[in-house]
Amino acid sequence: MISERLREMPGVVGIVLGGSHATGTATPTSDIDFGLIYDGHSPFDLAALAHLCSELDDAGGAPPSALGGWGPWVDGGAWLTVQGQRVDFIYRDLRRIERSVQDALMGQVHLFAQVGHPHGIHAHQYAGELASAVPLHDPEGALAHLRLQVTPYPPALSAALQAHYGWQKNFWLDGAVKGEQRGDVHYVQGCLYQAVMALVQQLCAAGKVWLLNEKGALSRASAQPGAPAQLEARVTAALTAQDIAGVRALFEEF
């Protein structure tokens, strides 16, 4: 198994199965995501990982990135194809996971820009990933200890996210109205997206559901108690038409 090969890597202190295969939302085309946990004070051997990637990858390639090579929050990893299946290795620093868990427990809401994430990544992201992941290798029990702290979903984080995003929905819509008056389509589109994401964040926080990625976020929010009827279909129609009034009507139902 791939996980067995990974646990032999020097410096890997834990391995988790993440993404859609961990949350039960995978499709036939979904990648398999392995989180490689390392200690930032003693990172794993990238040369050894590169050798393993070349062995596993169907094309004999898939060189891993440097630590931090994919941005401050995605950190880095490698994209492989193993026997026709897409497999991702994603780096996570255990010390940053520990800080993320503390942020979640304290209800800290900090949003950071990250390539590949149009809404951004919150400081509690790693805590949510850990709470949603399937541990595969945790010899010291560090991941299990941290996971227990954010299972169930921290009440302070739920309250903080609802307060943080609750007022933003209509603020972004007011910005969209002003952009429409100027004929600034690009700005209107950005404001509408952010307005919808504020509702998505609020719904998921109220339902105490971890929001790990913008992909599928609207569907996840639509399944929460109190979500406006046919939320996903109506948002899709409103965004396609740049229908500001249609989005505002959704907000009034929540």
pLDDT of residue 238: 97
Using 50 as the pLDDT threshold, list the residues of the chain that sit under it: none
pLDDT of residue 67: 94
Q: What is the DSSP string of 122-183?
A: ETTHHHHHHHHSEEEE-TTSHHHHHHHHTSS--HHHHHHHHHHHHTHHHHHHHHHHHHHHHT
pLDDT of residue 1: 81
Q: Domain end: 151, 179, 214, which one? A: 151
Q: What angle do CA 104, 110, 116 make, to 5 degrees?
A: 105
Q: What are the two backbone dihedrals, phi and then psi, of residue 90, each rounded to the nearest 5 degrees?
A: -125, 130
CATH code for position 101: 3.30.460.10
Q: Domain end: 151, 184, 210, which one? A: 151
Give CA–CA dist 246/250, Å, rounded: 7
Contact call for residues 89 and 78 (beta carbons, < 8 A): yes
| Boundaries of domain holding 144 | 1-151
Q: How many domains does the chain have?
A: 2
pTM: 0.93
Q: Is 35 helix (H, G, I), strand (E, B) or coil?
A: strand
pLDDT of residue 59: 94
